[in-house]
């Protein structure tokens, strides 16, 4: 697991490490610039054929830019540096590296100053460009407070305009896209093709404007080990990586058989809403459950008979609306006794009688539960039910931000601004595990540890995506018996489905949920490989 920090937290962590370990900050800046150069040259094998422009501000982010420029020179690659500062405005490590760069006797580095009197010098230079170019953003770093104004806003707008008008121009941000600050950023910010961030994962780059503008994200070492970051990680936030998923993913034994490979019970469905339960059931099968049991109201039996020949089916009595009847819990006991994990919610409906059935399951079922979709909406008005359980078996709630708003009583704006603390507080208060679904999904265990998932893309932003995820998750929970493994691996694999589809078809628009379900074997093959 890689420790993850907010912008404020990483500054505090690095300060603590520098003081305790005695690492000179100048060395860290040197490592940051050199390793950024290595990533850029690996991303762009044709770097020698590109015009390289580095745009620098006034702080340590500018210092990273000056080190980076020097490494271009060392390797004989011409570079133009545009400063939004005068030497008198620079200080500390940034000033040291500016002076080194300025004193290098080289005819392949040109330095320009962007001023209020001539704010368009960068734009004029690149507007006439004929070949390929790379604009490297080292303007502001992570210390931005509020919206960017003045000449910095103007230059950011110019960088974005140049990128959007000329397909030969790519933009790379050093550490963070300039303009991205803590909380919700609404002002100007650089729209990067790639962001090369320093030392550790910054959480602001994983959602909102940070997610939108960072492009592909690369983390480069700066001379502080992962163990050092872990020692100061009092915030208990981690980015889950492929190696973590490989170690957590449940693997079948050679001596296993169908009932030892995880039995998943999927409960839900109602008249007109059979598709959700079908998708969850198929996803659970594809994700490796040795057996999938489905329980649903009688009226949708025909849908299951046609599409789910491998699923063990249980018909339940129904309400006049075609949802599961309120007194159906006792008729489910046999299937509950067989199951290793239970999913309830896909297509369940919001019928008040069905709500009684849901609450019976939550209170009485002595099996690990995944609660999703309509079940979350019904639960939101009766959250105290979570504290009335007769069993200590674990619960995973899988809300999107709107559903979590209803569960927590917080506005979506409050959640977006302070999602980690709100998520953790809810999990601790109600003794549940939570998966918060958004552009970057978070998993929070009942002891308050948060695991960040960074696979996936906008293909997942369509109806039915959550049903596929919950099916994968209950399958992994049934197989592993671990909520932590189920959440981390489930989110990671779900994101992989969209990534694999994009790699195959080259777009992030057209996949149906059935298309994504078909990618589950490929994702698991990659994990097991």
Q: In the structure encoding, which two tokens stand for residue 508, read together?
A: 């992030």
* pTM score: 0.91
Find the range with the poorest average confidence among 33-37, 40-44, 138-142, 516-520: 138-142
pLDDT higher than threshold 70 for residue 105: no
Instruction: Give the pLDDT band (50/70/90) at residue 289.
Output: very high
Averaged confidence pLDDT in the chain: 93
Find the range with the poorest average confidence among 66-75, 100-109, 351-360, 468-477: 100-109
- Of all residues in the chain, what percent carry a pLDDT higher than 70? 99
**Residues paired with residue 327 on neighbouring β-strands, in sequence order:** none
User: Helix axis angle, 25-43 relative to 92-103, nearest 10°?
Assistant: 60
Residue 277: the pLDDT is 95
pLDDT higher than threshold 70 for residue 466: yes
Q: Which residue has the tokens 């271009």?
A: 72
Over residues 303-317, the mean pLDDT reads: 86
Residue 183: the pLDDT is 61
Sign of torsion over alpha carbons 19, 181, 196, 137: negative
Phi first, then psi: what are they for 55, rounded to 5°? Answer: -110, 120
CB 489 within 8 A of CB 253: no
pLDDT higher than threshold 70 for residue 320: yes
Phi first, then psi: what are they for 314, rounded to 5°? Answer: -130, 120
Residue 412: the pLDDT is 95
3-state secondary structure (DSSP) of residue 42: helix
Which residues lie below 8 Å from residue 232, measured CB to CB, with a gap of 6+? Answer: 12, 13, 16, 17
Q: Which CATH architecture has domain 244-528?
A: 3-Layer(aba) Sandwich (3.40)
CB 134 within 8 A of CB 43: no
Which residues lie below 8 Å from residue 389, measured CB to CB, with a gap of 6+? Answer: 362, 363, 395
Rounded to whole angstroms, the Cα distance separating 205 from 475 reads 31
Q: In the structure encoding, which two tokens stand for residue 285, read together?
A: 């099968």
Q: Does domain 2-239 have CATH number 3.50.50.60?
A: no
Q: How many CB atoms lie within 10 A of CB 25?
A: 15
Q: How many CB atoms lie within 10 A of CB 116?
A: 9
Q: Which residue has the tokens 């340590």?
A: 60
Instruction: Give the pLDDT band (50/70/90) at residue 449.
Output: very high
Rounded to whole angstroms, the Cα distance separating 363 from 58 reads 59
Residue 341: the pLDDT is 98
Q: In the structure encoding, which two tokens stand for residue 211, read together?
A: 């997610």
Over residues 444-450, the mean pLDDT reads: 97
Find the range with the poorest average confidence among 100-109, 362-371, 465-474: 100-109
**Residues paired with residue 152 on neighbouring β-strands, in sequence order:** none
CB 342 within 8 A of CB 370: yes
3-state secondary structure (DSSP) of residue 224: coil
Q: Where in the chain is the domain with CATH 3.40.1190.20?
A: 244-528
Q: Where in the chain is the domain with CATH 3.40.50.10260?
A: 2-239
pLDDT higher than threshold 60 for residue 184: no
């Amino acid at each position: 697991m890689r420790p993850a920090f907010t912008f404020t937290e990483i500054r505090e962590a690095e300060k603590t490490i520098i003081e305790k370990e005695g690492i000179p900050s100048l060395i860290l800046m040197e490592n940051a610039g050199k390793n950024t150069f290595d990533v850029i040259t690996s991303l762009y094998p044709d770097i020698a054929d590109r015009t390289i422009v580095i745009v620098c501000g006034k702080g340590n982010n500018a210092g990273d830019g000056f080190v980076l420029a020097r490494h271009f020179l060392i390797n004989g690659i011409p570079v133009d540096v545009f400063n939004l500062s005068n030497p008198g405005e620079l200080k500390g490590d940034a000033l040291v590296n500016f002076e080194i760069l300025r004193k290098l006797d080289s005819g392949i580095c040109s330095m320009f100053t962007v001023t209020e009197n001539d704010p368009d010098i960068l734009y004029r230079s690149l507007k006439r460009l004929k070949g390929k170019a790379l604009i490297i953003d080292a303007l502001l770093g992570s210390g931005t407070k509020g919206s960017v104004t003045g000449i910095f806003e103007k230059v950011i707008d110019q960088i974005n305009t140049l990128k959007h008008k000329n397909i030969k121009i790519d933009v790379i941000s050093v550490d963070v896209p300039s303009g991205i600050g803590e909380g919700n950023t609404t002002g100007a910010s650089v729209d990067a093709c790639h962001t090369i961030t320093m030392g550790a994962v910054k959480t602001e780059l994983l959602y909102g404007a940070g997610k939108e503008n960072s492009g592909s994200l690369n983390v480069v070492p700066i001379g502080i080990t992962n163990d050092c970051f872990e020692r100061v990680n009092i915030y208990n936030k981690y980015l889950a990586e492929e190696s973590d998923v490989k170690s957590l993913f449940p693997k079948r034994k050679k001596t296993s058989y169908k009932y030892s490979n995880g039995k998943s019970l999927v409960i839900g469905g109602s008249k007109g809403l059979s598709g959700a339960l079908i998708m969850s059931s198929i996803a659970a099968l594809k994700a490796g459950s040795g057996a999938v049991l489905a329980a649903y109201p009688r009226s949708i039996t025909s849908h299951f008979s046609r599409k789910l020949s491998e699923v063990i089916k249980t018909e339940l009595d129904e309400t006049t609306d075609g949802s599961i009847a309120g007194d159906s819990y006792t008729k489910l006991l046999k299937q509950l006794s067989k199951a290793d994990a239970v999913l309830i919610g896909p297509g369940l409906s919001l019928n008040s009688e069905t709500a009684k059935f849901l609450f019976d399951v939550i209170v009485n079922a002595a099996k690990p539960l995944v609660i999703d979709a309509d079940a979350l909406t019904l639960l939101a008005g009766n959250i105290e039910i979570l504290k009335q359980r007769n069993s200590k078996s674990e619960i995973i709630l899988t809300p999107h931000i709107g559903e979590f708003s209803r569960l927590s009583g917080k506005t979506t704006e409050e959640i977006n601004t302070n999602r980690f603390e709100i998520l953790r507080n809810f999990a601790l208060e109600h003794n549940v595990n939570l998966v918060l679904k958004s552009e970057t999904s978070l998993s929070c265990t009942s002891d308050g540890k948060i695991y960040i998932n960074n696979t996936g893309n906008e293909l997942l932003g369509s109806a039915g995506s959550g049903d596929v995820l919950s099916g994968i998750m209950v399958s992994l929970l049934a197989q592993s018996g671990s909520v932590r493994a189920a959440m981390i691996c489930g989110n990671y694999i779900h994101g992989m489905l969209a990534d694999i589809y994009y790699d195959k078809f080259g777009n992030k628009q057209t996949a149906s949920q059935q298309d994504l379900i078909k990618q589950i074997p490929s994702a698991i093959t990659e994990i097991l490989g």
